[in-house]
Amino acid sequence: MSEFVDNLEKEARGRFVRWDPALWSAFLNGPVVRLGRALKDGDAASGEELLRDYMRLGAEGIGLGYMYPGSAGRENFFTLAWRELLPRLLPDLRQEEQAPALARVWNLSENLESAPPWVQRLFCRLGSNLSSLEDLEGHLHTIANEAMEPPTQALGDTSTAQWVDLSQEDSRFMPGEMHFLAPAVVCVHDRHRATAAGGRDAATQGVWLVKKPMLLGPMGCNERLEPATGKPSKALTSLAQRDPRAGDWYSTQHNEWRAVATMHTSQWLAVILPA
C-alpha cells in the first residue's frame, strides 16, 4: 500500500498546480486511517480496493481545490464528505453498495462545486449529522427545495419574531445592510467590514430564516449594498412598538414571506416569520 500511496502522490504532484502536500499528509493520517480501520472487518481484498479508490478521489479533490484545510475557514460538501461522512458511514453499507456509493458521493460533491457558497454551507451544516449514505441525493434535494423555494405561508397580519445572535459566528460582527439570496435566506453584511481587504472577502453572514433560524456562516459575498431606503414592514414597526429589545433599526428588508432588521447598537438580527 505504501508504494501505491507514493506513486499516487508523485502522479498528483505532476498533474496539479494546486497540489497541497500538507493537506495530503493530513488526509492520509486522518480520514484514510479511520476508513482503513473500519473496513478491516470485511473482505480484505475488497476493502483495500475501496480504500485505494477513496484515496485516488481524495487526491483528485485536493489537486482540483475541492478539499479545504481546516485553517481555511471555509466549508464545502466535498471536504465534509471526504473527511467525515465517508470514513464514518461508508463501512456501514453492504459490500456491494460501497463502491457505487463512493462514486455517487464524488459526483454529487463535484456538481455542488458550482453551487453558491450559501448552498454549500447549508448542505454542510445539515449534512454533518447524517446517519446514512442511503438516498443521500434525495436528502440533499429536499434541503435544497426547502431553502430555495418560496415558503408555503406568507407574512400576514399575525406574525412572530425570532432574535438571532450573529456574534455566535463572529464576535466582531456588527450587522448592517442585508439582501435576500432566496425567499427565506438572507445575507447580512458587516457595516464596518463591508468591503474586501487584504485579499479577504468582506465580512458577511448568511441566515436561513426558518422557524428556528440557522446561521450559515460567512457567505463570501462582495456585493456592494446601498443603505436601505424603503419603509419597514408593518410587522417590524409593530415589533419595535411592543418589544423592548428592538431599538432604532439600522437597516430593514422584507419580501412576501420574511422581514429582517438590524439595529444601530446590537449584534442581533430581528427576524419576522408568519405566526
| pLDDT above 60 for 218 | yes
* Cα(273)–Cα(140) distance, integer angstroms: 24
Provide φ and ψ at 190, rounded to 5°. -70, 130
| pLDDT above 80 for 201 | no
In sequence order, what are the residues at sequence separation of 6 or more whose Cβ sits closer than 8 angstroms to the Cβ of residue 162? 211, 212, 213, 270, 271, 273
Share of the chain above pLDDT 70, in %: 97
Give the per-residue pLDDT at 200.
57
What residue ranges do the domains of the chain occupy?
1-147, 159-222+229-270
Q: Is the pTM of this model over 0.85?
A: no
Closest of 151, 142, 162, 160 to residue 235, by C-alpha:
160
* Cα(160)–Cα(163) distance, integer angstroms: 10
| pLDDT above 60 for 199 | no
Grid cell listed for 163: 432574535
157 — pLDDT class (breaks 50, 70, 90): confident
Mean pLDDT over 223-249 rounds to: 87
Lowest-pLDDT choice from 90-94, 193-197, 240-244: 193-197
| pLDDT above 90 for 119 | no
